[in-house]
Each structure stands twice: as structure tokens, then as C-alpha cells.
């Protein structure tokens, strides 16, 4: 019986050593979970007089990153936001899929007749595109300070942030 215990212990130690070796013993490639900051950031986004309804909001600092999307009501809320000064990006291209899905749910892509064009409904849903410089928190020029708890940051971009209309 003692011999069996010794063998099992040796196998367990060998398995642990093999697992560590498989990881390379280098912790730089392991994912690191950001500690829960308890901070939220929420608000609305406007570009000129246009209220945005489709965008991913990204928050970045030396302490980490967090992101969220604008909801149906035109508001965003991001949890576990890094504390201190943060840079903020507004990426409208990242939400193009949400826009298309909403159009489909609303019936914009339904219809009959030849080629499926006759009988289509007009949907009052608008996708507003921003210039790419606003997508990245590092180049957007948007900053705010986040404290523990709830924080509000209504993002107001100049009309010049709007990208030319796409066809």
C-alpha cells in the first residue's frame, strides 16, 4: 500500500511538472484578469446634432480596457472601467452588424415580387458613421476621469467627426 501511494504521488508531481513545462513557465503569455474596479461609465453619444444609436465604446488606460455598446435607447453603460484618467474611442464600424440586424428585425429586408424588391418596408433606422480617428481611444482625443462607483460621460463630438455618407 505505501508503494502505491508513492507511485501516485510521483505521478501527480510529474503531471504538475509537465503542465508547467507545457506552459513554458513564462507567465507573460497567460491571460491576466483585471481586478473588479467597481466603476461604471455611462452616457450618450452625439456627433454634431446627430444622436448615435450604433457604436462600440472603448475605454483604455494604463490599468486596462473595457468596452460596451450603445443600446436601443441611445445610451451606453460599461462595467469594470479602469480608474483614473481614461481615453475613450467611439467605433461605429464595429456596430454595423447590430444596425443590419435591427433593419432585418424591423422588416427592411422582407418583401416579395420580382427580385424581392416589391413591397419592402421603409425602416426609420439610421446608421451614422464617424471618421476612423475616433475609433481608437489613443487617437480620438476623448478623455475623462473615472472614479469608483457610477460615472457619467456624455460624449459630444463636433460635426467634423462625421464621415461622408456611404452609398
- pLDDT tens across 55-92, in order? 999 999 998 999 999 987 889 999 999 999 999 999 99
Edge-to-edge strands of the sheet including 142-146? 64-69, 56-61, 84-91, 142-146
As a whole number, mean pLDDT of residues 94-112 equals: 77
How much helix, strand and coil, in percent to the nearest 5, is found in the chain?
30, 30, 40
pLDDT of 161 higher than 70: yes
pTM: 0.71
pLDDT of 52 higher than 50: yes
- CATH C-level class of 36-161: mainly beta
- 40 versus 23: which is more confidently predicted? 40
Give the position of cell 504521488: 9
- 70 versus 14: which is more confidently predicted? 70
Structure confidence by residue, pLDDT tens digits, 31-49: 445 679 999 999 999 999 9
In the prediction, which pLDDT does 84 show?
97
Amino acid at each position: 500500500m505505501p508503494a502505491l501511494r508513492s507511485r501516485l504521488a510521483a505521478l501527480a508531481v510529474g503531471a504538475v511538472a509537465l503542465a508547467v513545462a507545457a506552459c513554458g513557465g513564462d507567465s507573460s503569455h497567460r491571460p491576466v484578469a483585471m481586478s473588479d474596479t467597481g466603476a461604471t461609465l455611462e452616457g450618450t453619444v452625439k456627433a454634431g446634432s446627430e444622436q448615435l444609436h450604433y457604436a462600440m465604446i472603448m475605454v483604455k488606460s494604463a490599468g486596462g480596457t473595457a468596452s460596451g455598446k450603445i443600446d436601443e435607447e441611445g445610451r451606453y453603460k460599461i462595467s469594470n472601467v479602469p480608474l483614473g484618467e481614461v481615453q475613450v474611442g467611439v467605433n461605429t464600424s464595429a456596430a454595423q452588424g447590430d444596425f443590419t440586424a435591427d433593419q432585418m428585425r424591423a422588416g427592411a429586408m422582407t418583401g416579395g415580387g420580382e427580385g424581392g424588391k416589391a413591397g419592402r418596408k421603409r425602416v426609420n433606422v439610421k446608421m451614422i458613421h464617424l471618421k476612423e480617428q475616433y475609433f481608437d481611444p489613443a487617437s480620438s482625443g476623448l478623455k475623462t476621469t473615472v472614479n469608483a462607483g457610477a460615472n457619467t460621460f456624455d460624449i459630444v463630438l463636433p460635426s467634423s467627426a462625421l464621415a461622408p455618407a456611404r452609398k
